[in-house]
A and B are shown apart, each in its own frame.
Chain A
Amino acid sequence: MRISPPTESSRSELSVVPLVNVVFLLLVFFMLVGQVTSPDSLDIEPPRSVIGKDDPGQTVRILLARDGRLALERVVVSESELSDRVSGIVASQPTATFQIKADARIDAVRMIGVMERLQAAGVKELTLLTEERRTP
């Protein structure tokens, strides 16, 4: 009749081990599936598309937020600063490719204006970042 304290402790250990298993599984899942990336300097929700191709990476990213603010990589810039810096990048690395991450809700005329500005600054290869839309 004095067996109860050991069974209690062994029962509590039994309930911990499956928990640890589940937590390890979750940990492995998040490590493998998620991509650890640094957050962008502007909060942007890109448009969804079915024709997008895989992101090749190694591009210079220009951010265009919903409120119209522009950023080059992590630095918020004005339109004229953007032109200057982009032409500087094109001059130093002629093969650089550029990517616009624009918010889905921004006025398209404004987005095209930024694209034309980039083209005028010497950009030869430009892509628009989208998010995959799963077709129903």
Chain B
Amino acid sequence: MQLNDNTASSPVRTRRSLISLTPLIDVVFILLVFFMLASSFSAEQVIDILAPAGTESAPADRAGAALVRLSPDGGLDLNGEPLSRTDLAQRVAAWSVSERPRQYLLQPDPGVTAQQVVTVMDLLKSSGAEQVSLTRR
């Protein structure tokens, strides 16, 4: 009898545990799909364009600022002098040590994309420019 009881109970137990596992897996899969679709992984960051009061670039401040122009083909010029990317970075780095202007006005020509502007802002800021303002013609 005992032997019979054993053999009868074990299949029943496994079957019951299987039945309770399946809805769980369903729910977990649904949750998984929800989180996979709904979550975003982009690391969003910000760049200051207009700083809070005091540091805002007023027209009077712009008089001493250096003008960096950017053309759609990626050409750069600093105060009218065409420069390569590396030359511009070196110039800005040298100026940031001396007492030359640390403010830069970035003027993109029509056709320049926002990404190109942000890339040049990256270059200026990481070379030591303290303030970069955007302007249009």
Contact = CB atoms under 8 A, between A and B. Distances in A.
A36 B10 CA distance: 44
Contacts of A47: 114-115, 117-119
A51 B15 contact: no
- Chain A's interface size range is 35 or more
A129 interface: yes
A37, A47, A106 interface centre (most CB from chain B within 10 Å): A47
Contacts of A46: 42, 44
Nearest to B132: A51
A53 B114 contact: no
Given A9-B11, A31-B35, A51-B126, A112 B52 contact: no
A104 B114 contact: yes
Interface residues of B, number: 53
Contact of B50 (A10, A24, A51, A126): A126
Interface string B76-107: 00000000000000000000000000000000
B110 interface: yes
Interface of A: 5-6, 9-10, 12-13, 16, 19-20, 23-24, 26-27, 30-31, 33-37, 46-56, 99-100, 102-109, 111-113, 115-116, 119, 123-132
The 7 A-B pairs at the shortest CB distance, nearest first, are namely A34-B39, A52-B45, A30-B35, A127-B46, A104-B115, A126-B50, A108-B108
